[in-house]
Each structure stands twice: as C-alpha cells, then as structure tokens.
Homo-oligomer: A and B are copies of this chain.
Amino acid sequence: MVNIRHRVVVGAPMEFVYEAVSTPAGLSGWWTRDGVRGDASEGSRLEFFFGMPDPAAVMEVTGRNPDGRVSWECVDGADEWVGTKLSFDLKQTAGETVVNFTHGGWRESSEFMAHCSARWAYFLLSLKSLVENGRGTPFPEDLKF
C-alpha cells in the first residue's frame, strides 16, 4: 500500500479549516464548485462532481470530529480510488492550523497517483487561500495540469 501525504499550514483558527473540510459548502469552495452533494454526517455519503453527469468520486464519511479530524473512504469513482482512505488531521498552533492530509491505501504507485498527488497539493493550497482570503481555486477555476 502506498500513500499520498501533504502538510500545509493555514493562517487561521482550526474551526474555519474544519468548516472548509467537513461541509459541502466548504468543500465546494476549494475542491469543486461544480457540486458537492449529499450529507456530510458520519456514516453518510458525499458526491463530488467535476463537470460530468455522474460524480467523479463518492466518499463515505467515516469520521467527522470537530476536535480536528475528518475522514472518508472512497466507495465509487476512479478504479484506483475505490477503497482508498482519505483524512484531514488538523492541529491548532498559535493562530495557525496545521493540516496533515493523507490519501492512503493505493494499491500501487502509478503515474495516475503521481498526478493526484500534485493535484491534491494544489487543492490544499486552494483550501488555504479560501480560508485565509475568502477565495479558493476549485474546479472549474483550477489550473489545469
């Protein structure tokens, strides 16, 4: 099993970062403005849309704790994503929040995984910009690469 891991520091209190990673409105502000549908409560499912009629990813919310952790399991989407586990671990320091992101449980280290790794870093900086400046760069306003 191989994992993508990124650490990004956001210059804002944890409650704002938690809001951005745990609610459909927050997630649509930095990952995909095209649509985040469903229920963000633990045990429910969230669907993420990227310009197609079907969601590109469906996540089951496996954890949602305002103390600083949101976790998902991908239950539908790209073949390489199904069964992988994602988490946002938040730690507040003086006026800042450290975000430790993991997209783990990939079956192999593929070129698609390398693409997703760079894309996740980009979107985590979009999350940082959303929380700090009120404006992210979610799909479809994202840089294409």
Q: In the complex, A9→B3 CA distance in Å?
A: 22
Q: Does A12 contact B (CB under 8 A)?
A: no
| Chain B neighbourhood of A8, CB < 8 A | 118, 145
Say yes or no: A7-B115 contact (C-beta < 8 A), given A128-B145, A145-B128: yes
Q: How many residues of A contact B (CB 8 A)?
A: 26
Q: State the Cβ distance, A8 to closest chain B Cβ, in Å.
A: 5
Q: State the Cβ distance, A87 to closest chain B Cβ, in Å.
A: 12
Interface centre among A5, A9, A100, A118 (most CB of B within 10 A): A118
Contact B121 A117 (CB under 8 A): yes
Contact A7 B111 (CB under 8 A): yes
